[in-house]
Amino acid sequence: MRESSLFREIWAIERVVYPIDATRLWCVAKKNAVDSSLQTAIEWACGQSGADCGPIQQGGPCNDPTDVQKMASFVSTIIL
């Protein structure tokens, strides 16, 4: 992964998805969080909050339906 002082690039399947600001605050779902609670949080964030959840939607570059924790972490970061 290439890095600069201000930006890092998120890679998915060996290609750049989009640049991100590395100076921001990042959220990560707790490892012991219950998947159903994380899924509820994802649904709220992608629905009621109006967050752009395109990257984690089916066919999106960050979609991984087998890892709800990763997708919840992505969503919690974009709604900050």
Write out the two tokens for 14: 């060996």
Averaged pLDDT, 2-17: 44
User: Can you give the pTM of this predicted structure?
Assistant: 0.64
Q: Where are the domains of the chain?
A: 7-78
Residues 6+ away with beta carbon under 8 Å from 24: 77, 80
pLDDT the model gives residue 54? 92
pLDDT tens digits, residue range 30-80? Answer: 888 899 999 998 898 898 888 899 999 999 988 888 999 999 888 888 876
pLDDT band, residue 21 (cuts 50/70/90): low
> Assign residue 14 a region: left if phi > 0, alpha if psi is -120 to 50, beta otherwise?
left
β partners of residue 29: none
The larger pLDDT score, comparing residue 4 to residue 42, is at: 42
Q: Tell how many helices (H) and how many strands (E) occur in the chain.
A: 2, 2
